[in-house]
Chain A
Amino acid sequence: MSDKKHIDRLFQEKFKDFEAVPNEAMWSRIEKDLPGKKKKRRTVLLWWQLGGVAAVILLFLTIGISVFNSENSNNQEFPVVNTDANNSSTSPDGSNTTFDGTIKDTNAISDSGSKTSNQNDIIVDSSEIKQGINNAEGVANKKVNKGAVSLNNTNSTTSNAYSKEVASAKVVASNSTTEKNATKVSEKPTIEKDKVNSAIKETISGSNNALANKSSKTKAAAIDATNTSVEDNKLLNSEISVEEEIKKQSIQEAIAQQDDLINEKEKDEPSRWSISPNVAPVYFSSIGQGSPINEQFNENTKGSNVSMSYGIAGSYAISSRVKLRVGVNSVNLNQTTADVFAFSGTEIGGASRMARMDNVDYKGGSSNYAIMSSAMMNRAVSPELFNSELSGELEQRFGFIEVPLELEYRVLDKKFGVNVIGGFSTFFLNNNELYADVQGNSTLIGEATNINTTSFSANFGLGMDYSLSKQWNINLEPMFKYQINTFNNTSSEFRPFFIGVYSGLSFKF
C-alpha cells in the first residue's frame, strides 16, 4: 500500500510538471486580437501588391510614352534642334533621294536616246521618281504632279522616233522641275542649314540649267539626226556626272560637319554602362495558406528567417531614363513550419509509412523519420506523451542562382534619383534541404522533391540612388519577386514570393 500523504502534497507532486499544450487554433485567435499586428502585416502585403501593380503599369506607360515620343521627336524636333546632328542628317538624305532620281533619269534618257525604243522605261522611271519624291517629301506633291502630267502627255504622243526624242527631252525638263521642287522641299526643314543648303542649291540649280540647256540641245539634235542626239545625251551624261560629283562633295562636307557635331555631342553624354555588386536581406513568404511540403501543414503557422542574397548586375542605359540590366545573384530562402512533431528511430519505420509525404525525399532513402502536424492530434484526448512532447518546427531551406533581367525607369533624375523597376528572373536550384528543428536541435531529414530546378519570378521594385561622384552611386532597392513555377504539386493555395531590400554600389563607365 502506498503511503498516506497530505492532500496538498499529492496535488503539488502531480501538478509539478504539469504542462498542457493549448489548442492549435489558440495562437491564431490571440494573434488576431493583438493590436496593430495582423493589420500591419496585411497592409504591408497590400502595399506590396498594389505597389507591384502600380510599378508595372507605370513601367509600361513610361516605356510606351518614351517610344511614342521618340518616334514623333524624330520628325518634330528637327527645326528646333537646327544645325544639330539630327537635322543635317536628313537633309543629305533628302538630297540623296532626288539625286538618285536624277541619276536614274538621265540613264533612262541616254537609253532612250541610243535605243530610241525604251519608252516604257522612261515612264516607269519617272513615276518611280514621283513616288520617291512623294515618299520623301509629301509637300512637293503638287509640283511633282505637274511633272507627271507632262510625262503622261509625252506618253500619249510616243508613236514615232521624233516624238520619242521630244518626250525624252520633256522628261529631262520635267525631271529638272521635280528635282528643283524636291530640293525646295528638302530645304524647308533645313532653312537654318544655310551652308549645306546653299551648297546643294547651287549645284542643283547649276545642274538644272545644264539640264535645261541640254534638253534644248537634244531637241535640236533630235530634229537633225538621231546620232547627234545620242552624242549629246552622252555629253549630257558626262556633264551630269561631273555635277553629281560636285553634289556629292558638298553632301559629304555636310555629312562630315554633322559627324563632328555628333561626336561633340557624344562626348558630353554620360556613360551608358554600369556595374553594381549588391547584397540584400531576403524574406520568403507566400500568398495563400498552403504548404509546399504536405497538405496537413496548411494550417500551421509558417515563418521565415531573413536570409541573404548576393550578386552582381550590369546595366546599359538605353536612353537617359531607361536602363536594361542583367545580373547573377545567389539567393537562399527558407521557410519554417511550426507545430510539427518529428519522430525518428528505426521503430518508426513501419508506422511512418502512413505519415510519409510524397514531396519529401528522406535522407538515405530510409524511413526512419516521420513528421506530422500537431494539429492532427486532438489535444483534449491525446495521450500524455504528446501533451508533454514539445512540438518542433520543420525547416525547409532552398537556394537558387538567380538571373534577373529587368528594366529600370528613372522617375526622378537628380543627385538623389528614384527608379521604378520591373522585370523577371530565372532561378536555378542549387540547394534543397529539409530539417526538423526540435528543441533547438536541427536534424537533416531529407530534401523536397517538388522544387523545380528551373523556375521564374516576376519582379517589381522601387530603386533609390544617390550619386557620390560622376561614376559612383549607392543604391537601395526594395524588390518584390513573385515566384512562378517554383514548386510542383503544392497543397492548397501556395503562391510563394520573396521580398528583398537590395543595396549596393554602382560604378559607371
Chain B
Amino acid sequence: MSLNQLIENCIKRDAKAQSQLYKQYASKLFSLCLKYSRNYTEAEDNLHETFLTVFNKISQYNHKGSFEGWLKRIAINTALQKYREHVGVFDIVNEESIEDVNIEINDDELSLDFLLGIIQELPDRYRLVFNLYALDGYSHAEISELIDISVGTSKSNLARARMILKTKIEEYKANLNSQSI
C-alpha cells in the first residue's frame, strides 16, 4: 500500500490502515515524545495524544512537505501544548542572557539511554528549547513563537540547557572513572 493510499484509507477511518500507519511511525514519534517529555509515562501520554490528533486531523494533511515531518510537528506541538498547560506563574526563570559559549565534550561511550535521561531531567522549558534548537532544527525565532518567549530567552535557555547537560555528562564520567579506579 502506498503512503498516499494509506493516508486516504486513514481519512476514511479504515481500522487496518490506522493500525498500519501507527506501526509505521510509532517508534519514530515515540523517540520524539521521549525527548520532549519528562519521563517514559509522559512520553506515552504524548504519543497517545499525538496519534489521536493525527487520526483526527489527517484529512488536513495537504501532501506538501513530508508526511513524517507533518507527524513530527504534531508530536512536538503535543509536547508544547502540555508545557503551555503546565507552565505556572512561579515558573520564574532567570531571563538574563548568557553567553552562547562553545561547550565541547568528549564523546566516549555515552549510552543513548543516559543522554535521553539527562534530557528528560532538564527543566521543562530548557528541554523544549534544547530539543527544538539542537535536535530538531528550529530557529530561535521559531522557538520564541512556539512557546511564547523572546528570542533572547530562547537563547539563554539553550545555553543553560547545554551547561546542565555538560555538567551531567562530566559528573557521569567522573563517576565512571572513580568506580573503575
Stretch of B15-23, B81-89, B145-153 on the interface side: B15-23
State whether the Cβ of B55 lies closer than 8 Å to any Cβ in chain A. Answer: yes
- What distance in Å separates the Cβ of A424 from its nearest Cβ neighbour in chain B? 30
A390 contacts which chain B residues (CB < 8 A)? 27
Near A by CB (< 8 A), chain B positions 90-139 give 102-108, 110, 112, 115-116, 119, 133-135
**What band does the interface of chain A fall in when counting residues whose beta carbon is under 8 Å from B?**
35 or more
Task: Choose one: B48, B107, B110; the contact of A30 (CB below 8 Å).
Answer: B48
Taking a contact as CB atoms under 8 Å apart, the answer to whether B16 and A26 are in contact is no
- What distance in Å separates the Cβ of B101 from its nearest Cβ neighbour in chain A? 10
Taking a contact as CB atoms under 8 Å apart, the answer to whether B52 and A33 are in contact is yes
Taking a contact as CB atoms under 8 Å apart, the answer to whether B104 and A26 are in contact is no
A26 contacts which chain B residues (CB < 8 A)? 26, 44, 47-48
A269 contacts which chain B residues (CB < 8 A)? none
Number of B interface residues in the complex (CB < 8 A): 41
Taking a contact as CB atoms under 8 Å apart, the answer to whether B134 and A338 are in contact is no
- What distance in Å separates the Cβ of B104 from its nearest Cβ neighbour in chain A? 4
State whether the Cβ of A80 lies closer than 8 Å to any Cβ in chain B. Answer: no
Taking a contact as CB atoms under 8 Å apart, the answer to whether B110 and A14 are in contact is yes
- What distance in Å separates the Cβ of B76 from its nearest Cβ neighbour in chain A? 14
Stretch of A5-13, A119-127, A468-476 on the interface side: A5-13
Cα(A437)–Cα(B126), bound, Å: 42
Chain B's closest residue to A391 (CB) is: B23
Taking a contact as CB atoms under 8 Å apart, the answer to whether A7 and B19 are in contact is no
State whether the Cβ of A23 lies closer than 8 Å to any Cβ in chain B. Answer: yes
Taking a contact as CB atoms under 8 Å apart, the answer to whether A29 and B26 are in contact is no
B22 contacts which chain A residues (CB < 8 A)? 27, 30
B18 contacts which chain A residues (CB < 8 A)? 31, 34, 37
Interface residues as binary, B27-43 with A (CB distance below 8 Å gives 1, 0 otherwise):
11011001100001000
State whether the Cβ of A3 lies closer than 8 Å to any Cβ in chain B. Answer: yes
Taking a contact as CB atoms under 8 Å apart, the answer to whether B135 and A15 are in contact is yes
With A12-B134, A30-B52, A33-B52: A19-B44 Cβ-Cβ less than 8 Å:
no
Taking a contact as CB atoms under 8 Å apart, the answer to whether B106 and A4 are in contact is yes
- What distance in Å separates the Cβ of B172 from its nearest Cβ neighbour in chain A? 13
Task: Choose one: A7, A20, A34, A387; the contact of B52 (CB below 8 Å).
Answer: A34
Taking a contact as CB atoms under 8 Å apart, the answer to whether A15 and B40 are in contact is no
Interface residues, chain B, CB within 8 Å of chain A? 13, 15-16, 18-19, 22-23, 26-28, 30-31, 34-35, 40, 44, 47-48, 51-52, 55-56, 102-108, 110, 112, 115-116, 119, 133-135, 162, 165-166, 169
29 CB contacts below 8 A, A to B, read A1-B106, A2-B107, A3-B107, A5-B105, A6-B104, A7-B134, A8-B162, A10-B105, A11-B115, A11-B119, A18-B31, A19-B30, A20-B30, A21-B26, A21-B27, A22-B47, A26-B48, A27-B19, A30-B48, A30-B51, A30-B52, A31-B15, A34-B52, A34-B55, A37-B15, A37-B18, A41-B15, A301-B19, A338-B19
Beyond the given A7-B105, A29-B48, please list 12 additional residue pairs across the A-B interface where CB-CB is below 8 A: A2-B106, A10-B105, A11-B134, A11-B165, A12-B134, A18-B31, A20-B30, A26-B26, A26-B44, A27-B22, A27-B26, A31-B18
